[in-house]
Structure 1
Amino acid sequence: MKRKILFLKPYDFMHTEYNGTSNPQFSPIFPCSLATVLSWCKSHLGEDEFSFYGLDGYLFQDRMEGVLREVALIDPDYIVSNINVLTFHLVESYYRNMKGKAKLIGLINKAFPEDMVARYGDLFDAIIEKDWCSSTLSVIVAAEDGEIGKSPGVWLRDEGGKPYFTGKGEPHYISDYPLPAYREFHGERYNSFFSYWTEGCKYGCIFCSFGTAVYGRWRARPIESILEELKELYSIIKRPMYILNIDNELTLQREWAEDLFEAIEKASLPLSIDTNIRANHVDEEFIRSMKRGGITRVGFSLESSDSDVLQLNKKKLNWEDVDRTIRLLKKHNIIFQVYIMQGMYGSNRQKDIDTFRYVVDEMKVRNVGLGVTLPYRSTPYYRVLKKKEWIEDFTLDNYLWVGSHVYKYSFFDKPVGTKPFWRISDDYTFEEAVDTYMHLAELKPRKKLFADFVKPLMFGNPSVFGGYIRSVCRSPGYYIGKMIRYVRN
């Protein structure tokens, strides 16, 4: 009898992807990374001895209750689930009820594997932080022989309850990955799709928490593979596509990016792409190329307007690049968001406020992303603070405190976690940075639906705007809710 492998995206209030993406989620968004792991395992294990299932809790009206019923019907031998370390405690009971005979493999994307194993090691048979594809495959192969402990790339718990790592798994690069399993995850039921096209980064910002997905040499998928994926997706959903390209740096290699945009333009696919850029990589010619390739919205980081802070954090950027990019994006009606950070190494309250004033008052940016800089254990920032003896640790409990007390995510029914402490500079602490963040959050400009979304899209890319109108007519409730959340946020 075939063994059954279930790939599960829980209804856990967060969208979790391999590259470190961890965003609040309230509607179905295609789980790209998990679907890619499914395709990877399917291509290596074959279908003679295994059956493969994809399940997303967001596609059930009754959420995790529906998942429990479906899992009972499938009766899997393995459950592979991308879990969010911030919200797992909210759905832990469902996992304990659904596990049964199945071996449970958890995929995480934040640097808290020891904490997760210490807390939930009795529930999970293995927890994987890096190399989701190859390590998941190795766990299943090892489990078939009854020797999970010999599988590389996983976190386990020994007999004494202590977490340990089995050793580095086999690395694979983005060009090796198969297309996501759109059909197994019922791609036709989604309106938004995450997609990966590049990995790696040549910059070394010390606070970057995206881990192995961005560290190392920049690599890109073959353009033919990206087009194949977009065409496959369109053949399934048969309507305009909204692609969330969450690459850390899509535009790092200009020639490749321009070839990609040209290929997408020639394919004449009805799509809108949301991606990230760096302000020092674009000029007017490049922005025109982006528009022709379907880019309708971008995000990019300034982090701080203080040159000393940027230098301390190895953020290779300057005001002139940001100023030019903002003006060009406005000119060409591309929707954009500028990210700034509070509490960067070496900063202080006044520098953080000055950055906000520069972006909002001088550059007239309405869509500003704020965030407190966190010293994840995997980052150089954490190591700098440890060397200065400015921090004791940054644990999962501390991360939970930030989520419930600082960002105040609505899915937390009560405050949780332990308040952390660290010093950012001689005259600035984490607690003071949080106060600054709270202050600036109250000053953020209110978004205007027509001025900030409809008008740029209408004049910047009329064909995409027409596609949105057709989609709204098909699913009015979904898009009205999305617009309300856009204005509120």
Structure 2
Amino acid sequence: MRKTLLTYIKPHVQEDPLAMILGIAYLGGAMEQQGLPVELADERILNDSEMKETIERNDVIGFSALTPNIRRAIAWAKYAKEKGKITVMGGPHASVDQGIFLDSGHFDYVIKGEAEETLPQFIKAIEGGNDEDIKAVAGVAGVREGEIWVDNPAPPLIKKLDDLPLPARHLIPMDSFFKMNPERLAYIFTTRGCPFKCIFCQKELTGRGFRVRSTELIVDELEHIVKTYNPGVVLFVDEILTLRKKRIHEMCDEILRRGLKFEWIANTRADCVDYPLLKHMHRAGCRRIYYGWESGSQRMLDVLKKDLTPESIVEAAKMTRRAGIWAKVYLIVGSPGESPADVEETERVLRMASPDLVRVSVFNPLIGTESWDNYQANIDLTDLRDNYVSSNRSAYVHEHFTQIELEQIRKDMVRNYEKWYYAYPQRARRMVERTLYYLENPTFAKKRVGRALGLVPPPSNKIDHLHAG
């Protein structure tokens, strides 16, 4: 039986902490469930010669890559084809832009949409060698002799996430990731989809609905991760973890009931939290929240269809800090029509909100998004074809700024904010806020004092260096 390799292609710049990729792990679990031989590989922890060896010992090579890295995926597919392998591309970009892969001459197939059900079907059809069986697999598009011979629409979204097998973490060298990440970061999904209408998000893969896993299965997986891998911190990679607050209250209750001791991070929106929820999350181990704010200018928030206000952003930051949770925020500069006044307004709101860390990207209209449909006249397609995109640059030709100016704005926004954040007045204010927090939470105050006096051992999973003082 042919053996399948599912591989994640590394970014040209690794900006985020290195951790396992859940996408190929879920697919690996689905393949194992069907009794199909599979190997997982992440190029970020392999050198070129190891990557070549991995490709050479498998028969079907499945690729996954974020949009900025598809050129590298095509290059590796070229190598695989030269070795006589069957090449397949999946993931969000392939689901909206199959042509860039199939037209390259280096991919035999694309699988569109969620593939936990369709990938095993496809591999079985390949093994059987019957074209009609391949044509029966939802989401498959294929090319032969330069011509498309199968092109099926993506399958319906998977309704019951509880039916999916757990991600095959045992097929991934977790220790290799932990060695390259001092926090020992692990990932978990509890939902798929996002109902909001931000114009820059690709939703083809997971949809605009909101599908959830059951609380019991989520905490079962958390318990398995904690006891098996002893991570330093667990990141919930859901787009909006706290969209349904009752669900998170239930999850926190179950974590506390089982006595699980671990630190975790949530991704969410400013309008999807309240103070009681944040306090409950903190009691259950949440120590960081990542917020997608994008801008502090109401005009830009409206352009991006964030459905947020600067006031809600500031209030969420204050509640998060009061609950004892550290906050990182994501911003976008160079949105359509953005002016110097909008940039200044964002910087003003940042200082009002005082998050602990700021990350800024340049606006990029990705294919398959509303921003792509609405602003094609401003997209330099030659630049896009030659360079594609990254968080630091864009093929979008801005109305008011050059690309060099936008890059400088991006850097200056971070530098200016950090200079302000670490200045004495802000450090003193945070000291007062921490004191108020400890008065409200005497249990944590006792632990803090005990650690300061050497009477209580420090937490085993440290992230203290991230909590600016």
Q: How do 1:315-354 residues align onto structure 2 when only pairs under 5 Å count?
A: 315-354=306-345
1:378-426, Cα deviation, whole Å (9 max, x unpaired): 111222224xxx33565883583543xx727xxxxxxxxxx734456xx
TM-score by length of 2: 0.79
User: Is 1:193 matched up with 2:176?
Assistant: no
Among candidates 53, 78, 82, match of residue 69 of structure 1: 53
Partners of 1:376 and 1:394 within 8 A in 2? no
- Which residue does 1:204 correspond to in 2? 197
User: Is 1:7 matched up with 2:18?
Assistant: no
- Which residue does 1:224 correspond to in 2? 216
User: Is 1:179 matched up with 2:152?
Assistant: no
Change in Cα spacing, 1:26 to 1:369, as seen in structure 2 (3 Å) is: closer
Amino acid at match of 2:235: L
- Which residue does 2:273 correspond to in 1? 282
- Which residue does 1:420 correspond to in 2? 395
Partners of 1:9 and 1:81 within 8 A in 2? yes
Q: Distance in 1 between matches of 2:402 and 2:55?
A: 47
User: Is 1:114 matched up with 2:99?
Assistant: yes
% identical aligned pairs: 18
- The DSSP-based 3-state class of the residue aligned with 1:7 is strand
Q: Distance in 1 between matches of 2:125 and 2:403?
A: 44
Shift of 1:70: 4.4
- Which residue does 2:360 correspond to in 1? 370
Change in Cα spacing, 1:40 to 1:205, as seen in structure 2 (3 Å) is: same
- Which residue does 1:102 correspond to in 2? 85
Partners of 1:206 and 1:379 within 8 A in 2? yes
Amino acid at match of 2:358: V
- Which residue does 1:381 correspond to in 2? 371
- The DSSP-based 3-state class of the residue aligned with 2:378 is coil
1:405-463, Cα deviation, whole Å (9 max, x unpaired): x727xxxxxxxxxx734456xx6677764553354344341687xx89xx99x969979
- The DSSP-based 3-state class of the residue aligned with 1:285 is helix
Change in Cα spacing, 1:382 to 1:68, as seen in structure 2 (3 Å) is: closer
Among candidates 262, 266, 270, match of residue 257 of structure 2: 266
Amino acid at match of 2:5: L
Shift of 1:37: 0.5
List alignment gaps of at least 5 residues for structure 1.
Answer: 15-22, 409-418, 473-478
Q: Distance in 1 between matches of 2:143 and 2:233?
A: 41
Q: Distance in 1 between matches of 2:364 and 2:5?
A: 34
Partners of 1:201 and 1:216 within 8 A in 2? yes
- The DSSP-based 3-state class of the residue aligned with 1:268 is coil
Amino acid at match of 2:410: Y
Shift of 1:300: 1.0
Among candidates 445, 452, 465, match of residue 418 of structure 2: 445
Q: How do 1:464-483 residues align onto structure 2 when only pairs under 5 Å count?
A: 466-469=459-462
Among candidates 392, 402, 414, match of residue 407 of structure 1: 392
Change in Cα spacing, 1:97 to 1:308, as seen in structure 2 (3 Å) is: closer
Change in Cα spacing, 1:25 to 1:67, as seen in structure 2 (3 Å) is: farther
Partners of 1:273 and 1:296 within 8 A in 2? yes
Change in Cα spacing, 1:236 to 1:159, as seen in structure 2 (3 Å) is: same
Shift of 1:35: 0.8
Partners of 1:240 and 1:467 within 8 A in 2? no
Amino acid at match of 1:223: T
Change in Cα spacing, 1:163 to 1:437, as seen in structure 2 (3 Å) is: farther
- Which residue does 2:116 correspond to in 1? 133
- The DSSP-based 3-state class of the residue aligned with 1:467 is coil
- Which residue does 1:123 correspond to in 2? 106
Q: Distance in 2 between matches of 1:66 and 1:175?
A: 35
Shift of 1:68: 2.9
Change in Cα spacing, 1:85 to 1:281, as seen in structure 2 (3 Å) is: closer
TM-score by length of 1: 0.76
1:88-131, Cα deviation, whole Å (9 max, x unpaired): 54475555445534322222333543223323xx3222223421
Q: Distance in 1 between matches of 2:457 and 2:373?
A: 45
Change in Cα spacing, 1:459 to 1:396, as seen in structure 2 (3 Å) is: farther
Among candidates 50, 71, 87, match of residue 69 of structure 2: 87
- Which residue does 1:20 correspond to in 2? none
- Which residue does 1:303 correspond to in 2? 294
Q: Distance in 1 between matches of 2:66 and 2:331?
A: 24
Q: Distance in 1 between matches of 2:52 and 2:140?
A: 26
CA RMSD of aligned residues (A): 3.7
User: Is 1:257 matched up with 2:248?
Assistant: yes
Q: Distance in 1 between matches of 2:119 and 2:343?
A: 42
Partners of 1:206 and 1:380 within 8 A in 2? yes
Aligned length: 430
Partners of 2:293 and 2:329 within 8 A in 1? yes
Q: Distance in 2 between matches of 1:290 and 1:261?
A: 6
- Which residue does 1:54 correspond to in 2? 40
Shift of 1:195: 1.4
- The DSSP-based 3-state class of the residue aligned with 1:87 is helix
Amino acid at match of 2:316: T
Shift of 1:352: 2.1
- The DSSP-based 3-state class of the residue aligned with 1:157 is strand
- The DSSP-based 3-state class of the residue aligned with 1:271 is coil
Amino acid at match of 2:212: A
